[in-house]
Chain A
């Protein structure tokens, strides 16, 4: 099922349409992300960035078009000329390759830090407990949370919770990691810690990353491509250097001026 040839993009959107009621959030969106790419989505709120991540995580259903992961249709496919749902079982197979970190962390409060991390590897990936715990401990070390292993999640600060959430997503060995405004709910002094963890992951792995963030410096450091969205369309696409120093589109210039305050 997997078309793992190097030319196949990790993520591909083909004419994807997403509406909420009458509000068209994504209007026949086309773009693709190559394997190992780090792509930042920027743009004003309501421009459809988060919707893209949520579609990729199957938290929203598209109203038209195709979303492909490694060339495999993910949520819908065309059979003849009919647009049909992909059954949950096949969807789960593809979803295994995608992980997500949320703005609000969404750790499970009924579990400890360690239990949060090993739950899915054991029950979804079928790892043994020993194997899952060993991997979880490596990840906790990586995010600097080893000493909080047996804490309940609401005994942790926001920054600590987010670091656990990152470890939890990585424990599933995703090929694609979606980061949805992961620092927006954090106190300013903690943001740097979490971004540091993510920088390290970007440096040491070849995970494909798709991120929505308002941290422009971080976007610049981590990503190799930036897409500027407005009203559900890509208005500009460039490498971070060009995008942040010499944006071509008027809309991008306005947006960056407002965000960066210069």
Chain B
């Protein structure tokens, strides 16, 4: 065990850069996914078949094909056609497209959950479509979509471990190295679990905070308490308190 600890301590300097790579993929992938989700999510609910059709096809394609295959395709097959990207860019694009397709459904569903009366009231005030979405509909849909986006973000983080297969030195690579050094699978993969869990937990805090903030802007919920933000169940404590009339 002390050998294991020594190996762990020796490899800690590499952990920092490995976490940075994982976070770059996660944050870059999430940002791209959000962009893709907004374009496809809105695209898939327009009236024009010329926009809706392609949006649906892209969503179904990237949801329906394996992330590993997508990563390998971008990394190994695209260069055959003369289009080569760095491994990190490949990972971000693959994660962005794959999770963006899932998130597009979240965006579409949340937009559709905003009551029709909100659209109608904005029309009655003669507010143009873009402004209507930006100022009236999206802020309401945003509060609805955060919990599901938080799930996808955590999945995206874990999905980023696949980038190990295209030579990236991310957290999973670091765990694999630790396993080689110690030859102790239990120890090294145990440490791996803890590291992914800690990163995921930090992301969950961030999303809980964003959710509480979005709800507060709608006049729902309260100023987030530490318990709400650090709790594992997003939004639930405030919601229960509100329903029970415990917190005004």
What is the interface of chain A, defined by CB distance below 8 A to chain B? 57-59, 92, 95-96, 98-100, 102, 104, 106-110, 119-120, 123-124, 152-155, 165, 168-169, 172
Residues 57-107 (chain B) with a chain A CB within 8 angstroms: none
Report the bound CA distance from A96 to B123 in whole Å: 10
Q: In the complex, which residues of chain B have a beta carbon less than 8 angstroms from the beta carbon of A59?
A: 120, 123-124
Q: In the complex, which residues of chain A have a beta carbon less than 8 angstroms from the beta carbon of B125?
A: 99, 119-120, 124, 168-169, 172
Report the bound CA distance from A104 to B119 in whole Å: 13
Contact of B121 among A58, A98, A108, A152 (CB under 8 A): A108
Interface pair A110/B121, CB less than 8 Å apart: no
Q: In the complex, which residues of chain B have a beta carbon less than 8 angstroms from the beta carbon of A106?
A: 115, 117-118, 120-121
Q: Of all chain A residues, which has the CB nearest B214?
A: A110
Report the bound CA distance from A59 to B125 in whole Å: 12
Interface pair A100/B124, CB less than 8 Å apart: yes
Contact of B124 among A57, A104, A155 (CB under 8 A): A57
CB distance from A149 to the nearest CB of B (A): 14
Q: In the complex, which residues of chain B have a beta carbon less than 8 angstroms from the beta carbon of A57?
A: 120, 123-124
Report the bound CA distance from A102 to B140 in whole Å: 19
Q: Of all chain B residues, which has the CB nearest A154?
A: B219
Known contacts A108-B118, A120-B125, then 19 further A-B pairs from the complex at CB < 8 Å, ordered by chain A residue? A57-B124, A58-B123, A59-B120, A59-B123, A92-B126, A92-B128, A95-B126, A96-B126, A99-B124, A100-B124, A102-B117, A104-B117, A110-B217, A124-B128, A152-B218, A154-B219, A154-B220, A155-B219, A168-B125
Contact of B127 among A98, A110, A123 (CB under 8 A): A123
Interface pair B123/A110, CB less than 8 Å apart: no
What is the interface of chain B, defined by CB distance below 8 A to chain A? 115, 117-118, 120-128, 131, 135-136, 139-140, 217-220
9 closest residue pairs by CB, A with B: A152-B219, A106-B121, A120-B125, A106-B117, A110-B139, A100-B124, A154-B219, A109-B218, A124-B126
Interface pair A172/B126, CB less than 8 Å apart: yes
Q: Of all chain B residues, which has the CB nearest A151?
A: B219
Knowing A119-B125, A124-B125 are in contact, say whether A102-B218 is a contact too (CB < 8 A).
no
Interface pair B131/A123, CB less than 8 Å apart: yes
Q: In the complex, which residues of chain A have a beta carbon less than 8 angstroms from the beta carbon of B220?
A: 109, 154
Q: In the complex, which residues of chain B have a beta carbon less than 8 angstroms from the beta carbon of A123?
A: 127, 131, 135
Q: In the complex, which residues of chain A have a beta carbon less than 8 angstroms from the beta carbon of B128?
A: 92, 124
Report the bound CA distance from A154 to B219 in whole Å: 6
Q: In the complex, which residues of chain A have a beta carbon less than 8 angstroms from the beta carbon of B126?
A: 92, 95-96, 120, 124, 172
Q: In the complex, which residues of chain B have a beta carbon less than 8 angstroms from the beta carbon of A107?
A: 121
A-B contacts, 19 of them at CB < 8 A, read A57-B120, A92-B128, A99-B125, A100-B124, A102-B117, A102-B120, A102-B124, A108-B118, A108-B136, A109-B140, A110-B139, A119-B127, A119-B135, A123-B127, A152-B218, A154-B218, A154-B219, A169-B124, A169-B125
Q: Of all chain A residues, which has the CB nearest B121?
A: A106
Q: In the complex, which residues of chain A have a beta carbon less than 8 angstroms from the beta carbon of B131?
A: 123
Q: In the complex, which residues of chain B have a beta carbon less than 8 angstroms from the beta carbon of A165?
A: 121
Q: Of all chain A residues, which has the CB nearest B131?
A: A123
Report the bound CA distance from A95 to B127 in whole Å: 10
Report the bound CA distance from A57 to B217 in whole Å: 29
Q: In the complex, which residues of chain A have a beta carbon less than 8 angstroms from the beta carbon of B121?
A: 102, 106-108, 165
CB distance from B248 to the nearest CB of A (A): 10
Report the bound CA distance from A155 to B219 in whole Å: 7
Q: In the complex, which residues of chain B have a beta carbon less than 8 angstroms from the beta carbon of A169?
A: 124-125
Q: In the complex, which residues of chain A have a beta carbon less than 8 angstroms from the beta carbon of B122?
A: 108
Contact of A110 among B117, B124, B218 (CB under 8 A): B218
Q: In the complex, which residues of chain A have a beta carbon less than 8 angstroms from the beta carbon of B140?
A: 109-110
Most-contacted residue by chain B among A110, A123, A165, A169 (CB, 10 A): A110
Report the bound CA distance from A57 to B122 in whole Å: 11
Q: In the complex, which residues of chain A have a beta carbon less than 8 angstroms from the beta carbon of B217?
A: 110
CB distance from A205 to the nearest CB of B (A): 18
Report the bound CA distance from A35 to B64 in whole Å: 59
